[in-house]
Structure 1
């Protein structure tokens, strides 16, 4: 039994080494078309206005492409959208973590959960993250997730790492994006605002694959 376990571990170690070596000699994909800027300016009846962060924020996030918009409805409602895309050369993911960043910005997280969004391509419901944060004068509802390879949706970093590794081995790419949808709410309209954020997120999740960035492998 011990010999069998040792042989199995040895084989796995050798296969990992071979895979790592082959990956090291493969051409590194680079982003040749970001495409996310073509994301519709109107989603679910909300019309977008572009916005920007201070340059220091962009340097800290270090993404290949940022989308920061305020989507406004006819009745004055506002849904904020941020997308940070990281190509394979940048490791496919951000160090941004709402569970750390929100308290750092003075918002207390009072509730967190997982909500499921219908993915039309697979006809399945995929889990994404829900956060309710609070300051003295407002509530913030946030839906966020990671998306990789265009249509793969994951709710946390370790799942993203698995998908990135799989993509790197099978398709020679491990790009990904952090997506955040947020909306302000009063104590009285929390459930209504949450449903609006969830519906918007559902539409966005199914729209993103059509505007996913394009990468191309280049020789070392």
Structure 2
């Protein structure tokens, strides 16, 4: 009988247990403000020029429940655009947690395909390794390429389940439950290869992430 329930059942059960622990046992995390206002994030990233921040509709914000966020489109000289979204929580408790793109975007008509975990590396000493979920979104004849990850107090996580686990552990050890979701999107052609577009996307991520991590997010735990 248990074998027939499948992995989704066990994942759901684990999340339920984590939620109970968060509300009943784990101390509330310290409110950790950003080092800088996200609206001051650079609007020039290499050849990419950012347009003004686009505020979300209040109804969307009621669902997201973020403390701070950035929603900006960047354009290159050829007219290609990349959307950057950063949603930040100063502390997370039940009802005020990061929403997975896999739950939100399908509700808007977009379906995830070709999902895989990837690692991008910014050279340095030490280097910065960015773990992200890479996927192609499809809605009718439209396609978009997306990369996203959970920023968990210095960690780059691709799994919402591990994000919850570290949330509990860091709350217990460091009294920290701050976190963020970073998501980038760009349109894809209906047909043909898109290696150049993907290369541009990866280069864009490598450009903005070090600044976001070092100058805007609170210091890492540990």
TM over 0.5: yes
3-state DSSP of counterpart to 1:31: coil
Match of 1:174 among 177, 187, 207: 177
Check the 8 A contact 2:29/2:176 in 1, yes or no.
no
Query: Are residues 1:114 and 2:117 paired?
Result: yes
Over 3 Å counting, the alpha-carbon distance change for 1:108 and 1:157 in structure 2 is: closer
Match of 1:70 among 48, 51, 73: 73
Once the two structures are overlaid, the 10-residue window that deviates more, 121-130 or 61-70, is: 121-130
Pairwise CA distance, 1:29: 2.9
Structure 2: how far apart are the matches of 1:139 and 1:98?
A: 16
Structure 1: how far apart are the matches of 2:165 and 2:188?
A: 35
Over 3 Å counting, the alpha-carbon distance change for 1:189 and 1:165 in structure 2 is: same
Query: Are residues 1:81 and 2:84 paired?
Result: yes
For structure 1, the 5+ residue unaligned runs are 1-16, 216-220
The structure with more strand, counted as a fraction of residues: 1
Structure 1: how far apart are the matches of 2:80 and 2:29?
A: 46
Which residue in the other structure is 2:132 paired with? 128
Which residue in the other structure is 2:155 paired with? 152
Structure 1: how far apart are the matches of 2:200 and 2:96?
A: 27
Over 3 Å counting, the alpha-carbon distance change for 1:135 and 1:27 in structure 2 is: closer
Which residue in the other structure is 1:204 paired with? 208
Pairwise CA distance, 1:73: 0.9
For structure 2, the 5+ residue unaligned runs are 1-20
Structure 1: how far apart are the matches of 2:217 and 2:115?
A: 30
Larger Rg computed on CA atoms:
1
| TM-score normalised by the chain length of structure 1 | 0.75
3-state DSSP of counterpart to 2:102: helix
Over 3 Å counting, the alpha-carbon distance change for 1:73 and 1:94 in structure 2 is: farther
Pairwise CA distance, 1:38: 2.2
3-state DSSP of counterpart to 2:185: strand
Query: Are residues 1:103 and 2:106 paired?
Result: yes
Structure 1: how far apart are the matches of 2:35 and 2:94?
A: 17
Alpha-carbon displacement from aligned partner over 1:69-126 (angstroms, at most 9, x marks no partner): 0011112110001111011255697442222323221123231111111144642634
Q: Aligned residues, how many?
A: 194
Once the two structures are overlaid, the 10-residue window that deviates more, 82-91 or 109-118, is: 82-91
Structure 1: how far apart are the matches of 2:46 and 2:96?
A: 28
RMSD: 2.9
Check the 8 A contact 2:29/2:178 in 1, yes or no.
no
Pairwise CA distance, 1:34: 5.2
Structure 2: how far apart are the matches of 1:86 and 1:31?
A: 9
